Structure 1
Amino acid sequence: MRKFVVVIAALALAACQTMDPYTGEQKTSNATTGAAVGAVAGAVLGAATAKKGKDRGKAAARGAAIGGIAGMGVGYYMDQQEMELRQELEGTGVRVRRDGDKLYLIMPGNITFATGRFEIRGDFYPTLNSVAKVLKKFDETAIKVAGHTDSVGSDSSNQVLSERRAESVAQYLRGQQIAAARVQAIGFGERYPVADNNTAAGREQNRRVELELIPMN
């Protein structure tokens, strides 16, 4: 049984190699761990439910194959989406962050909206078009658009501004033929700063819109 698991895990490792768009080097993707764990779990379950001898070995192999494919599925899908987003957004000012099987696109306020406004800047539309291009292709992810502000102004005004900015981005994505059911807009006001609001540079970082991409399966 161990031999079958090793073979399946090796195949998963080879299949889950992706290219880093910045270095051009091959790297092991986040799907690999899921594939290997799935293979082991499938092999153990297959062996446990089979008779002794050859049948047990065959059952372990089948279980490893099925478990490996299932384990690598979501991770591999998000790996490919991450790679294409990084390629499309390189040099735009939008940062791509990976957290497990979730992806985050951080869009700083200095490139998305004018100060105190919720209308998308005209020169940001090409970047949003690049985002929409990838999101249309990878249509098995839900999209949460979150608006954030700095601490200048009242809590209530910042809350409304963050909601309107999030909805502006969400509406634009829906207008690019992304299913409305996939897109949710939410505003957090000034509640979740990522930098010091006492500095201009910190406030600029806090004025942002983030897209959280969540696998639906």
Structure 2
Amino acid sequence: MQIKLMFSNHARKTAAFFMLSLLLLHSFSCNRTAQGTAIGAAAGALVGVLIAKGSDNAKGILIGATVGGIAGAIIGSYMDKHAKKLKEDLGKSADVERVGESILVTFDSGIMFDVDSYALKAATRANLDKAAETMKEYDKTEIIVMGHTDATGSDEYNQKLSENRAAAVSRFLQQNGVTASRLTNKGFGEQKPVASNTSVSGREQNRRVEIAIVASKALVESAKKGEK
């Protein structure tokens, strides 16, 4: 009787562990499907990772955040077309990259803003106006605007400047018809350099505004169903 009881307890624990494993696997799968990342259960999980992930840069996060399979291929095709149009819109004013199943647009802050300013230059406004039209056309995406500075100046000043610049870009896109619910903006100050701050060229690279464009829940769900 004692052996039977021990076996029963073990069986119950095994069953519980098995069910927990299934739940975790299901959660993992849903997260991958919903947002192309294994972090977080909500559709906006990747957005949260982009604006909160330690010192990792956006490109590294986007490379690791993929749905894969047929759904990933459908999302990739959608993003290919979107990126091609954005390159036409922005010309040489920004670097448009396809990264994983997302798009990363990088602007040199010197092109977008005057020194110590967060008012968009006229030329930048013209290009962003075109980009906004494309973003409205390819509306199955979420858009994260991220401001960065170099390490000159105080931490507090750099943080505020980066926040204001990210907000200025986000606000301009919204004013030109991009739905506010698709937009998130975040300033990082000097926290996420992509080059050394000890050289002039490195500081120039670090002074930037990035726009990450990622698949929305609606796009992932339609891709999962094989809908192009």
Q: Which has the bigger relative contact order, CA under 8 A and spacing at least 6? A: 2
Q: State how far apart, in whole Å, the 2-side matches of 1:88 and 1:122 are.
A: 15
Shift of 1:200: 2.1
Residue 88 (1) aligns with residue 89 (2): yes
Please report the TM-score for the alignment, with normalisation by the length of structure 2. 0.63
Q: State how far apart, in whole Å, the 2-side matches of 1:124 and 1:211 are.
A: 14
1:1-217 mapped onto 2 (5 Å cutoff): 37-38=69-70, 70=71, 72-90=73-91, 92-216=92-216, 217=220
Q: State how far apart, in whole Å, the 2-side matches of 1:173 and 1:214 are.
A: 16
Shift of 1:71: 5.1
Shift of 1:84: 1.1
Q: Tell me what 2:33 maps to.
A: none
Distance change (3 Å), C-alpha of 1:108 and 1:71: closer
Over 6 Å off, 4+ runs? none
Shift of 1:123: 2.2
Q: Tell me what 2:38 maps to.
A: none
Contiguous gaps of at least 5 residues in structure 2 = 1-66, 221-228
The percentage of aligned residue pairs carrying the same residue is 36
Q: Tell me what 1:66 maps to.
A: none
SS at match of 1:196: coil
Please report the TM-score for the alignment, with normalisation by the length of structure 1. 0.66
SS at match of 1:97: strand
Q: State how far apart, in whole Å, the 2-side matches of 1:104 and 1:74 are.
A: 15
- The number of equivalent residue pairs is 151
Between 1:114-123 and 1:71-80, the stretch displaced more is 71-80
